């Protein structure tokens, strides 16, 4: 049992370190980042929607999707709406900058943190079932996290964070996967509790992609750029679809 716990913690540490994918952008100038930023934001939009409709909702459907789960999804949307209102309650005329980031960066960090926490729960639970199951789950989560972390990093930059700040905040959010694993090891979670957490996460991701990211993309009217954005959204969702064959 102790070896399974150790493997679970090591696996979540590896998953957390994927957040450093943002380092790949350190060598890019601000001009280049700005030029391609909205493409990555579009990619993130597709990945978030894909995660919800291809991964989370089918998982919930396999575990007796009912009205309570639907209410939990709605609660997730409302929770993130309230969080965004609380973060910036008044209408703000201050330009987005590293000292004054856009509210969506905080809602994204909270949503991604909860999602990472659930990833940690799932990884640890699978290792407690069987080490081989744990390894397979970890590989699936890693493949899932790489495109998502690229998208998350893009959102943080778009929201006003500097590159280095985005990397460290993204890492902190990813470390919640370790906390999720510890929660399983020292606690007693039922499948029902995990389903409600997944439902709230789905609601948060729907709110983030639908109310924050898509409106940003709609500001672009150039036909060619809009086409690339559309393709990036589809590509993000397709990656989530491909990942279902690895689970």
Domain ranges of the chain: 2-18+35-246
189 falls in which pLDDT band (50, 70, 90)? low
Nearest alpha-carbon partner for 37 in 156, 121, 120, 175: 156
**pLDDT for the residue numbered 31:** 63
DSSP percent split of the chain into helix, strand, coil, nearest 5: 85, 0, 15
Number of Cβ within a 10 Å radius of residue 2: 7
Q: In the prediction, which pLDDT does 95 show?
A: 44
Which is more confident, 36 or 113?
113
Residue 175: pLDDT over 80? yes
What is the average per-residue pLDDT within 223-245? Answer: 90
pLDDT at 155 over 60: yes
Q: Where are the beta strands (DSSP E) in 45-172?
A: none
Q: Show Cβ contacts of residue 36 under 8 Å, excluding neighbours closer than 6 positions.
A: none
Please state, in angstroms and as integers, the Cα–Cα distance from residue 66 to each residue in 20, 77, 188, 199, following that order: 38, 17, 23, 11
pLDDT band, residue 130 (cuts 50/70/90): confident
Per-residue confidence band for 100, with pLDDT thresholds at 50, 70 and 90: very low
DSSP character at residue 98: S
Cβ neighbour number for residue 197 with a 10 Å cutoff: 19
- Other beta carbons within 10 angstroms of residue 33's beta carbon come to 15
The CA R_g of the chain, rounded to the nearest whole Å, is 18
227 pLDDT higher than 90? yes
Lowest mean pLDDT across 22-36, 139-153, 159-173:
22-36
CA distance 7 to 96: 42
More confident residue, 86 or 116: 116
Supply the pLDDT for residue 1.
57
Residues 101-124 have a mean pLDDT of 77
Question: Sorting pLDDT into bands at 50, 70 and 90, what band is 93?
Answer: very low
Give percent above pLDDT 70 in the chain: 80
Report how far residue 162's alpha carbon sits from residue 97's, in angstroms, rounded to the nearest whole number.
8
- Can you give the pLDDT at residue 191? 64
Higher-confidence residue of 246 and 239: namely: 239
Across all residues in the chain, what is the average pLDDT? 79
Which phi-psi region, left, alpha or beta, contains residue 235 (left: φ > 0; alpha: ψ -120 to 50)? alpha
The tokens of 232 are what? 């990036």
DSSP 244: G
pTM over cut 0.75: no
Per DSSP, 209 falls in state I
């Amino acid at each position: 049992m102790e070896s399974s716990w150790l493997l679970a913690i090591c696996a979540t540490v590896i998953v957390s370190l994927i957040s450093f994918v943002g380092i790949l952008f350190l060598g890019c100038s601000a001009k280049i980042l700005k030029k391609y930023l909205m493409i990555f934001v579009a990619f993130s939009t597709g990945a978030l929607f894909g995660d919800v409709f291809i991964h989370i909702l089918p998982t919930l459907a396999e575990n007796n999707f009912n009205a309570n789960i639907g209410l939990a999804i709605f609660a997730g949307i409302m929770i993130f709406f309230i969080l965004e209102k609380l973060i910036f309650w008044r209408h703000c005329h201050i330009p987005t900058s590293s000292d004054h980031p856009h509210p969506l960066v905080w809602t994204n960090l909270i949503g991604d943190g909860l999602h990472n926490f659930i990833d940690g729960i799932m990884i640890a639970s699978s290792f407690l079932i069987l080490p081989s199951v744990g390894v397979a789950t970890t590989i699936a989560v890693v493949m899932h996290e790489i495109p998502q972390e690229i998208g998350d990093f893009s959102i943080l930059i778009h929201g006003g964070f500097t590159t280095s700040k985005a990397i460290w905040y993204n890492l902190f959010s990813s470390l919640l996967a370790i906390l999720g694993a510890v929660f399983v090891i020292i606690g007693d979670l039922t499948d029902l509790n995990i389903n409600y957490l997944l439902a709230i996460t789905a609601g948060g991701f729907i709110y983030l992609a639908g109310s924050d990211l898509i409106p940003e993309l709609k500001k672009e009217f150039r036909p060619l750029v809009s086409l690339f954005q559309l393709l990036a959204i589809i590509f993000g969702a397709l990656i989530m679809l491909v990942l279902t064959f690895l689970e």
